[in-house]
């Protein structure tokens, strides 16, 4: 076992350990003796596995059990659409780190910009002065934001922090407290954002009390209503807008409500795009009732859906836009954009944070925006999206098991596949064969994920429904996507055979 020298003051180490009682005697010892005591103190620490022990086993022991994990792979290297593990396994990545590495792992231009910044200044603290890279990033960002009124920014580190920043802004600017969220929404795992999250109970369960003042309303998704996939979307929109209006009459008065918060494409809740008519309806309701419309584009932003931001497609103007993930391709950075008028209503000092808008992350983000321009990333998103959707459609139409695919949906390279099976299938009116049988059927998505993993491909499931999500890097090649489709087909067939379909 390798001895570890403590950097802590010797007295404090002794005071905590079983040797505390003898500390006064030790205090009289020579410096040499004290050093040897530090070695002896280490013996009372938990046994440390040898440095060459299996990294995954070490991680399982020493990382919180609160983290759920798709695989036991240890990622050591990532280039483009590929990740290599510590054991030399090369994995085809259809997750992009959950929609973060939109330009693939270690995009050379982004890496170069970050490395260069590391040699200049890494921490340009925003409550002390302006950060040059942050100013430069704002210059690059303004032209690509979905509306010219979004001209003022605040940066933070994680998506959840940015959501909290949006809530703080909405509350400070409107002097009202309550927030309306969508059923199926995901906004993060902090105490405030878990309260805003309605995709699964796991994020809040056992962690309450969470932030109060949150009200959930309907989102136009057929599965939320227990209706068949063929249900007219505009009817779902009408029903959902009706529910939003009722929410404002029955649950939270407009005079108490600061904002409506929505993901323009529901992510963790099942990869369901909000129809344009729904977003327009929400805009109208917000205008009528003096509420802010906040769009959470943490997952759907930065080219993921084929436009820089998903809300662009509808033409609807958000009052606040939340972004993170893809902005810096793996460096921690998030933020909100809003109008100068709204942002001026916050008191100086009320926003900030030690690492808010880190200089290296900002330099990486500017390089990301440059790469979007130089490499025609959005063109590739359109082409690869067509390739993926036509593959999935042909699988649904032609294969022996195609009837088990209920829905293929999404935008760009944020594509979900819902299987004909729901968590409450016995009671549902779902038209799928599985549901019609009235039996409780095991979910297909987790099995397909496991089969993909056996074939060295990373793919994620999502939501309480039986859904898989494809979120590959946006610059994935045609050939790489063909390989992914072939693996998916094979894995899907193996999974449904194993489930006895
Ligand atoms: C829509 C949305 N909002 C917020 C978050 C939270 O972001 P983070 O995990 O960076 O805190 C996520 C993360 O997946 C997300 O998809």
State pLDDT tens for residues 110-139.
Answer: 999 999 999 999 999 999 999 999 999 999
Residues 41, 62, single domain; the answer is no
Taking residues 209-214, what's their average pLDDT? Answer: 97
Total-model pTM = 0.89
Residues 383, 424, single domain; the answer is yes
Residues 10, 69, single domain; the answer is no
Q: Identify the residue with better confidence: 485 or 9.
A: 485
- Assess whether the C-beta atom of 263 lies below 6 angstroms from ligand 1: yes
Q: Has residue 273 got a pLDDT over 90?
A: yes
- Assess whether the C-beta atom of 333 lies below 6 angstroms from ligand 1: no
Residues 451, 388, single domain; the answer is yes
- Assess whether the C-beta atom of 324 lies below 6 angstroms from ligand 1: yes
Q: Identify the residue with better confidence: 423 or 357.
A: 357
Closest CA relative to residue 188, chosen from 199, 175, 180, 177: 199
Residues 17, 72, single domain; the answer is no
Residue 465 lies in a domain: yes
Residues 417, 486, single domain; the answer is yes
Joined tokens for residue 106: 């270690």
Find out whether 365 and 327 touch, Cβ atoms under 8 Å: yes
Residue 398 C-alpha to ligand 1 middle, in angstroms? 36
Residue 304 C-alpha to ligand 1 middle, in angstroms? 14
Domain limits for position 38: 1-48
Residue 204 lies in a domain: no
Pocket test for ligand 1, best of 160, 164, 192 (most atoms within 8 A of CB): 160
Looking at 145-149, 282-286, 415-419, 430-434, which range is the least confident one? 430-434
**Residue percentage of the chain with pLDDT more than 90:** 84
Residues 471, 408, single domain; the answer is yes
Would residue 29 be called left, alpha or beta, if left means φ above 0 and alpha means ψ between -120 and 50 degrees?
beta
Pocket test for ligand 1, best of 95, 187, 266 (most atoms within 8 A of CB): 187
Residues 10, 88, single domain; the answer is no
- Assess whether the C-beta atom of 186 lies below 6 angstroms from ligand 1: yes
Q: What is the pLDDT of residue 51?
A: 59
Residues 1, 98, single domain; the answer is no
Give me the helices (H) in 266-322, please.
276-289
Residues 81, 36, single domain; the answer is no
First to last CA, the chain: 52
Q: What is the pLDDT of residue 425?
A: 45
Dist. CA 39–CA 44, nearest whole Å: 10
Closest-lying ligand 1 atom to the alpha carbon of residue 325: 10
Pairing label, strands 214-217, 152-156:
unpaired
Q: What is the pLDDT of residue 14?
A: 34
- Assess whether the C-beta atom of 264 lies below 6 angstroms from ligand 1: no
Residue 298 C-alpha to ligand 1 middle, in angstroms? 6
**Residue 5: band (very low, low, confident or very high) from pLDDT cuts 50, 70, 90:** very low
Dump pLDDT digits (tens) for 373-396. 999 999 999 999 999 999 999 999
**Residue 43: band (very low, low, confident or very high) from pLDDT cuts 50, 70, 90:** low
Closest-lying ligand 1 atom to the alpha carbon of residue 324: 10
> Could you tell me how many residues make up the chain?
501
Closest CA relative to residue 480, chosen from 23, 82, 52: 82
Taking residues 357-372, what's their average pLDDT? Answer: 98
Rg of the chain over all Cα atoms, to the nearest angstrom: 25
Q: Identify the residue with better confidence: 107 or 433.
A: 107
Residue 401 C-alpha to ligand 1 middle, in angstroms? 33
Residue 443 lies in a domain: yes
Q: Has residue 140 got a pLDDT over 60?
A: yes
- Assess whether the C-beta atom of 297 lies below 6 angstroms from ligand 1: no
- CATH number for 393: 3.90.1150.10
Q: What is the pLDDT of residue 442?
A: 87
Dump pLDDT digits (tens) for 410-432. 999 999 999 997 554 433 334 34
Q: Identify the residue with better confidence: 446 or 44.
A: 446
Closest CA relative to residue 273, chosen from 251, 299, 238, 246: 299
Q: What is the pLDDT of residue 248?
A: 98
Grouping H, G, I as helix, E, B as strand and the rest as coil, residue 483 is helix
Residue 108 C-alpha to ligand 1 middle, in angstroms? 25
**Residue 25: band (very low, low, confident or very high) from pLDDT cuts 50, 70, 90:** very low
Residues 435, 384, single domain; the answer is yes
Number of domains comprising the chain: 2
Closest CA relative to residue 94, chosen from 415, 312, 354: 415
Residues 1, 30, single domain; the answer is yes
Taking residues 86-92, what's their average pLDDT? Answer: 97
Residue 359 lies in a domain: no
Residue 253 lies in a domain: no
Average pLDDT, the chain: 90
Domain C-terminal end among 48, 64, 83:
48
Residue 282 lies in a domain: no
β-bridge mates for residue 365, sequence order: none
Which residue's alpha carbon is nearest to atom 7 within ligand 1? 159
Dist. CA 16–CA 484, nearest whole Å: 53
Closest-lying ligand 1 atom to the alpha carbon of residue 297: 1
Q: What angle do CA 490, 493, 496 make, to 5 degrees?
A: 145
Q: What is the pLDDT of residue 473?
A: 98
Q: Report which secondary-structure segment, H or E, holds 481.
A: helix 478-498
- Assess whether the C-beta atom of 188 lies below 6 angstroms from ligand 1: yes
The torsion of the CA quartet 283, 286, 292, 296, rounded to 10 degrees, works out to -40
Closest CA relative to residue 413, chosen from 99, 82, 199, 79: 99
CB proximity list for 427: less than 8 A, separation 6 or greater? 226
Residue 361 lies in a domain: no
Residue 250 lies in a domain: no
Q: Has residue 487 got a pLDDT over 50?
A: yes
Pocket test for ligand 1, best of 96, 191, 298 (most atoms within 8 A of CB): 298
């Amino acid at each position: 076992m390798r001895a570890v020298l403590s950097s802590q003051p010797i007295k404090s180490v002794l005071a905590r350990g079983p040797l505390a009682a003898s500390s006064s005697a030790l205090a009289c010892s020579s410096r040499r003796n004290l050093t040897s005591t530090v070695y002896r103190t280490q013996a009372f620490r938990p046994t440390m596995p040898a440095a060459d022990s299996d990294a995954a086993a070490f991680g399982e022991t020493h990382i919180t059990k609160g983290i759920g994990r798709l695989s036991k792979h240890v990622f050591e290297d990532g280039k483009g659409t590929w990740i290599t593990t510590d054991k030399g396994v090369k994995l085809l990545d259809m997750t992009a780190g959950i929609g973060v590495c939109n330009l693939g792992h270690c995009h050379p231009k982004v890496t170069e910009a970050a490395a260069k910044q590391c040699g200049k200044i890494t921490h340009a603290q925003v409550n002390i002065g302006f950060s040059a890279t942050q100013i430069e990033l704002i210059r690059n960002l303004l032209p690509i934001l979905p509306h010219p009124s979004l001209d003022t920014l605040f940066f933070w580190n994680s998506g959840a922090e940015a959501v909290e920043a949006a809530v703080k802004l909405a509350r400070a600017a409107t002097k009202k407290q309550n927030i309306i969220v969508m059923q199926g929404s995901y906004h993060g795992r902090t105490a405030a954002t878990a309260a805003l999250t309605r995709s699964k109970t796991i994020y809040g369960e056992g962690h309450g009390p969470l932030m109060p003042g949150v009200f959930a309303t309907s989102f136009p998704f057929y599965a939320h209503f227990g209706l068949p996939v063929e249900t007219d979307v505009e009817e779902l929109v009408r029903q959902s807008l009706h529910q939003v209006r009722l929410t404002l009459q029955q649950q939270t008065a407009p005079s108490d409500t600061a904002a409506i918060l929505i993901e323009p494409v529901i992510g963790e809740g099942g990869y369901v795009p909000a129809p344009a008519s729904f977003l327009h309806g929400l805009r109208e309701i917000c205008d009528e009732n003096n509420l802010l419309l906040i769009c959470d584009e943490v997952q759907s932003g930065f080219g993921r859906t084929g436009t820089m931001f998903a809300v662009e497609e509808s033409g609807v103007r958000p009052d606040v836009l939340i972004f993170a993930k893809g902005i810096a391709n793996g460096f921690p950075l998030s933020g909100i954009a809003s109008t100068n008028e709204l942002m001026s209503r916050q008191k100086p000092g009320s926003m900030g944070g030690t690492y808010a808008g880190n200089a290296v992350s900002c330099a990486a983000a500017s390089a990301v925006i440059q790469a979007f321009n130089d490499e025609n990333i959005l063109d590739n998103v359109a082409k690869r999206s067509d390739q993926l959707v036509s593959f999935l459609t042909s699988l649904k139409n032609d294969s022996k098991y195609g009837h088990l695919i209920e829905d293929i949906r999404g935008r760009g390279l944020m594509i979900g596949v819902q299987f004909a099976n729901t968590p409450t299938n016995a009671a549902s009116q779902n038209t799928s064969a599985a549901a019609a049988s009235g039996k409780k059927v095991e979910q297909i998505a987790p099995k397909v994920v496991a089969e993909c993993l056996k074939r060295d491909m990373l793919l994620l499931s999502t939501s309480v429904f039986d859904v898989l999500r494809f979120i590959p890097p946006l610059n994935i090649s045609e050939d790489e996507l063909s390989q992914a489709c072939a693996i998916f087909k094979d894995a899907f067939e193996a999974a449904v055979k194993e489930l006895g379909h």
